[in-house]
A and B are shown apart, each in its own frame.
Chain A
């Protein structure tokens, strides 16, 4: 038997203090299998030990929330006995090491989280962050990640309907791959993970267990260094075909009442699934590891328990229902094995070849995971940069073209054309708009889905950045006419043991808390990914937000495309012209400085509620929020999408470049028929909403009086060219 030395403890990522706690809980020295189990259960990835204290402050409740954080995914009520189930999760470290498989298994994992709860996945989204465009690895990583997401989602037959992508040097050594799945279930047939019923069979289904992905959760909880490429064997390999079969088999079994509890085997595989099920149910579990379907000979209990082989599930069935369940899984040609039973001991007892391989108390291990109150420092508030303090460009038109063809704004078509975004036949707003919209099959309802975060804002001022990410998700749903209902979050940060990084985390959470509260937009699920650092350089703080909203009648949905000549263009909100952290500053002046735009949550809510109300009254022909690149970019995007120009006149005391390119929050551009202008004005007056009539749609140019005139085709050309050109460079495959 392997002797547990200090070195072995350290290799398992446990601190001395944590190991002392292990000894205290057990009253003896653990064996290697037990140590391995402690190490993954207490890894940052599984235990949330640095983040728990702060996550608890987020609002998680609303009358429409059926299940908040803590289960495989969150659940909201969308009426008519239906529920939407969703979550976003990171797969950052594996995707950097092996982009195709890392991204693919990230998608597979998040879909499993959703169908484990009884939902059929109906849409996938993602939030991707890559290094600077000219970094030698960027092209290769983009290519691999996108192909991996496509390879998995397309084969599953679940549409990938959109997402967001940023490029920034802070991700040069640590890309972010966050995948989100939204599923649809019957509200009275949702499946949870708490094991129950002493003597009930514990069943393993899906793929066989191999040696892949051992210690993935521990890897995801450590910084990278120059040798990280050697960690490739810890990346799992995905098999979407098997997952498609697993999905159909699980849903078929879920239509019966044979299942007591079910949990997918994700990070930390059989260990975390069995402990979570036992812990949530307050019971014990006995497993005979000889009965685990295995792909390779000679696997040890340590390897079986820590394998992260994909496409596997653990279930507790009602007694006597094993054969019925077995038939379903055999029909779908999947492994099915009763590997143990529920006990009343409160212990996890693992046997193999007649010997006890591990005997651990469940509750202390799962609940008494370390929880840290890490020291943190507040980020110093940067100075506001007024428009007057930024030099005017020589040519406003050239500035707009530069922005349209810049890495942050250029069209993502090259990416989303690789995703099957139409399968299932319900995608009614395709990628490229503010939010994707997917019908609830066979009803008039639809879900609006978006992912959002502006990391440069979060870096400069975490509180504002955290609030802005939530507000932008809310705004993007609103712009389609949807009622925002809830979010999932994917908190991607650097090393929490550094007080300035921990301070960014604390600040972002506080901003999110304020925005979620003010906008009635609770957090129902999420994931934390820390230690996103290479050689001591951390990523920009990136709290990616996945938002979901409901349209009661999709016939009233709006898109951002300008529709017809003569429609009147209206701006909601006041422009401040503050330009800190704007893309204008970055792309035109080459500096990333200043305070991000203010987020006034009261105005945010008023302006959004007004627009949604106008949309639901059927008065709005197009709508788009102002975000990256400001009003100028928003107008250009609407013109490109509609393939029609506009005549715009801005009456403002601000310098033109500030009016056009400041990224003011809580603002929208929308259009109405000329005959509806007075009505729009009337409703705005009653609600005290600032409205500005700024022009009309028509012709083939975007003309902004006294500023610029550019043909829509030129804008479109610049906008669409950037990414394909980047990806056609040598070495991008």
Chain B
């Protein structure tokens, strides 16, 4: 399997994502500079966390207009799996690959902590390694992770099974306390309609070994790599 990680000026989880993918794939992903206009032949495109272009203007807004993103959108439309984490999720909503928007956290502050996530939809490629209804733990670290969509869109996402993860208690209850940023319906991650683009605020690449405090992220990447093959 081959993977590509998109690197913008200001990306800062690109190395972490590379480490996680390398651990699961047994080979390194290709790092693709934002100014490049062509993507290498790849089975997975990953858009990392960070502060692309300083997140000036609006998180992800400027990165969405970089040359490489036109290619990413094209590939996504052609069915290539895209994993967009944190700032990557923001970029994906700005390009229109994913619906909704990520607003400033409800408490107005940056928040960095482990969160528990309920797996709310089936998607063999991305979460087939977990049981349906299982609760997994990844950390969040963001200032703008408050998911918003209008009511119709929200109902559609729920009805179509496009909601990938919801912030939950360790036993799977969707409470306000478990929601770190005020996201509507406790939404932490969503799929596009076709199910080949996943955007999520939490960072699975940060919990990939016992020393780091957990291995749910490793399980996530191991399965993703297996399912893509």
Q: With A and B bound together, what is the CA distance between A441 and B145 in angstroms?
A: 28
Give every chain A residue within 8 A of B139 (Cβ-Cβ). Answer: 422
Report whether B112 and A155 are in contact in the complex, using a CB–CB cutoff of 8 Å: no
Tell me, yes or no, whether A333 is within 8 Å of chain B by CB: yes
Nearest chain-A residue to B217 (Cβ)? A425
A424 engages B15 (CB within 8 Å): yes
Residues 319 to 337 of chain A near chain B (Cβ within 8 Å): 332-333
Are the C-beta atoms of B112 and A428 separated by less than 8 Å? Answer: no
Q: Tell me if B111 and A417 are in contact (CB < 8 A).
A: yes
Q: Check A425/B19 contact, CB under 8 A, given A155-B10, A332-B9, A418-B110.
A: yes
| B111 with A155: CB separation less than 8 A | no
What residue of chain B has the Cβ atom nearest to residue A416's Cβ? B112
Q: How far is the CA of A421 from the CA of B55 in the complex (A)?
A: 19
Query: Do A418 and B13 form a contact, CB below 8 Å, given A155-B51, A240-B54, A427-B212?
Result: no
Flag whether A157 is at the interface (Cβ < 8 A). Answer: yes
- With known contacts A154-B110, A241-B10, A333-B9, A423–B55 Cβ distance under 8 A: no
Q: Is the CB of B112 within 8 A of A421?
A: yes
Among A419, A420, A439, chain B packs the most CB atoms within 10 A around the CB of: A420
B205 interfacial contact with A, CB 8 Å: yes
Q: Cα distance A294–B84 when bound, in Å?
A: 38
Do A418 and B16 form a contact, CB below 8 Å, given A241-B51, A425-B212? no
Contact of B112 among A240, A244, A422, A554 (CB under 8 A): A422
Chain A residue at minimal CB-CB distance from B35: A331
Write the A411-448 contact mask toward B (1 if CB under 8 angstroms, else 0): 00000111111111101101000000001000000000
A239 x B141 contact (CB < 8 A): no
B138-172 toward A: CB 8 Å interface, digit per residue (1/0)?
01010100000000000000000000000000000
Q: Count residues of B near A (Cβ-Cβ below 8 Å).
A: 31
Q: Is the beta-carbon distance between A425 and B112 smaller than 8 angstroms?
A: no
* B185-229 at interface with A (beta carbon < 8 Å): 203, 205-206, 208, 211-213
In the complex, whether A708 has a CB less than 8 A from a CB of chain B is: no
Determine whether A506 belongs to the interface, using a CB cutoff of 8 Å to chain B: no
Q: Is A150 an interface residue (CB 8 A)?
A: yes
Inter-chain contact A423/B141, CB cutoff 8 Å: yes
A245-B9, A417-B113, A419-B112 are contacts. A428–B54 as well, Cβ < 8 Å? no
Given contacts A423-B16, A425-B19, A439-B211, contact A418 B9 (CB under 8 A): no
A453 CB → nearest B CB, Å? 25
User: Would you call A648 an interface residue if the criterion is a C-beta within 8 Å of the partner chain's C-beta atoms?
Assistant: no
Report how far A240 CA is from B50 CA in the complex, Å. Answer: 12
Known: A241-B10, A428-B212. A155 touches B15 (CB 8 A): no
Q: How many angstroms between the C-alpha atoms of A430 and B206 in the bound complex? A: 13
- Expressed in whole angstroms, the Cα–Cα distance for A157 and B212 within the complex equals 17
Instruction: Write the nearest CB–CB distance from B39 to chain A, whole angstroms.
Output: 20
CA separation between A423 and B109, bound complex, in Å? Answer: 17
A-contact bits for B118-142, CB 8 A (1 contact / 0 none): 0000000000000000000001010
Query: By the criterion CB–CB under 8 Å, are B206 and A425 in contact?
Result: yes
With the chains together, A638 CA to B209 CA distance in Å? Answer: 24
**Who on chain B is nearest to A333 by CB?**
B9
Whether A423 lies near B212 (C-beta < 8 A) is: no
- A331 nearest CB neighbor, chain B only: B35
- A156 within 8 Å of B by Cβ? yes
Q: Is the CB of A244 within 8 A of B211?
A: no
Q: How far, in whole Å, are A150 and B20 apart by their CA atoms in the complex?
A: 25
Chain B residues contacting A155 (CB-CB under 8 Å) are 10, 12, 51, 54-55
A147 at the interface (CB under 8 A from B): yes
Which residues of chain A are near B111, meaning CB under 8 Å? 417-418
Q: How far is the CB of B167 from chain A (nearest CB, A)?
A: 15
Q: Considering only CB atoms and an 8 Å cut-off, how many residues of chain A contact the other chain?
A: 32
| B110: A residues at CB distance < 8 A | 147, 150-151, 154, 418-420
User: B211 — nearest CB in chain A belongs to which residue?
Assistant: A428
Q: B54 contacts A422, CB within 8 Å?
A: no
Closest to A419 in B: B112
Q: Nearest residue in B to A243 (C-beta to C-beta)?
A: B54
Chain A min CB distance to B175 (Å): 17
Contact with A along B41-54 (1 / 0, CB 8 A): 00000000111011
Which residues on B sit within 8 Å (CB–CB) of A417?
Answer: 111-113
Q: Mark A321-355, 1 if CB is under 8 A from B, else 0.
A: 00000000000110000000000000000000000
Chain B residues lying within 8 Å of A416, measured Cβ to Cβ, are: 112
Within 8 A of B (CB), among A135-158: 147, 150-151, 154-157
Q: In the complex the two chains form, what is the Cα distance from A156 to B208 in whole Å?
A: 22
Inter-subunit contact A554/B211 (CB<8 Å): yes
Find out whether the CB atom of A239 lies under 8 angstroms from the CB atom of B206: no
Contact between chains at A425 and B16 (CB < 8 Å): yes
Picked from B13, B53, B206, the residue with its CB within 8 Å of the CB of A157 is: B13
A241 and B53 in contact, given A154-B141, A439-B211 (Cβ under 8 angstroms): yes
What residues on B are CB-neighbors of A154 within 8 Å? 51, 110, 112, 141, 143
Q: Is the Cβ of B141 less than 8 Å from the Cβ of A422? A: yes
Contact with B12, one of A156, A239, A333, A418 (Cβ below 8 angstroms)? A156
Assembled-state Cα–Cα distance A371/B210 (Å): 54
CA distance A151 to B142 in the complex (A): 11
Which chain A positions have C-beta within 8 A of B55?
155, 241
Residues in chain A near residue B206, CB distance under 8 A: 422-423, 425
Return chain B residues, CB-CB under 8 Å to A245: 9-10
Residues of B near A242 (CB, < 8 A) are 54
CA distance A717 to B109 in the complex (A): 22
Pair B50/A157 contact, Cβ less than 8 Å: yes
Name which residue of chain B comes closest to A425, CB basis.
B16
Q: Are B56 and A423 in contact (CB under 8 A)?
A: no
Please, which residue of chain B has its CB at the minimum distance from the CB of A554? B211
Q: Produce 1/0 per residue, A542-575, CB < 8 A to B.
A: 0000000000001100000000000000000000
The distance from the CB of B87 to the nearest CB of chain A, in whole angstroms, is 10
Residues of B within 8 A of A157 (CB): 12-13, 50-51
Mark contacts of B72-110 with chain A using CB atoms, 8 A cut-off: 1 yes-contact digit, 0 otherwise. Answer: 000000000000000000000000000000000000111
B112 and A420 contacting across the interface, CB-CB below 8 Å:
yes
Q: Tell me the complex Cα distance, A262–B111, Å.
A: 36
B210 to chain A, nearest CB (A): 10
Cα A733 to Cα B108 in complex, Å, equals 10
CA distance A151 to B20 in the complex (A): 26
Q: CB distance A420 to B141 under 8 Å?
A: yes
Whether B10 contacts A418 by the Cβ 8 Å rule is: no
Across the interface, do B205 and A244 meet the contact criterion of CB distance under 8 Å?
A: no
Which of A244, A424, A555 contacts B10 (CB under 8 A)?
A244
B53/A424 in contact, CB under 8 A: no
For window 453-511 of A, CB contacts with B under 8 Å fall at none
**Contact mask A111-122 → B, CB, 8 Å, 1/0?**
000000000000
Q: Which residues of B contact A156 (CB under 8 A)?
A: 12
Given contacts A150-B110, A425-B205, A428-B212, contact A239 B19 (CB under 8 A): no
Residue from A151, A241, A428 whose CB has the most chain B CB atoms within 10 Å: A241
Kindly state the separation between the CA atoms of A599 and B90 in the bound complex, as whole angstroms.
53
- Bound-state CA distance A157–B51 (Å) is 8
The CA of A151 and the CA of B108, in the complex, are separated in Å by: 12
Cβ contacts under 8 Å, B15 to chain A = 424-425
The answer for the CA separation of A584 and B108 in the assembled complex, in Å, is 36
B13-71 contacts to A (CB < 8 Å): 13, 15-16, 19-20, 49-51, 53-56
- Chain A residues lying within 8 Å of B112, measured Cβ to Cβ, are 154, 416-422
The minimal Cβ–Cβ distance linking B178 to chain A, given in whole angstroms, is 15
CB–CB A418/B109 < 8 A: yes
- A501→B108 CA distance, assembly (Å): 41
Residues in B neighbouring A422, C-beta threshold 8 A: 112, 139, 141, 203, 206, 212
What are 14 A-B residue pairs whose CB atoms fall within 8 Å in the complex?
Answer: A147-B110, A154-B110, A154-B112, A155-B51, A157-B12, A241-B9, A241-B51, A241-B54, A244-B10, A244-B54, A419-B110, A423-B141, A424-B16, A430-B213
Apart from A147-B109, A244-B54, A423-B13, list 7 A-B contacts with CB within 8 A: A157-B51, A244-B10, A245-B9, A332-B9, A417-B111, A420-B110, A424-B15
Ranked nearest first, the 9 interchain pairs of A and B with the lowest CB-CB distance are A157-B12, A241-B54, A425-B16, A155-B51, A420-B141, A428-B211, A418-B110, A420-B112, A150-B110
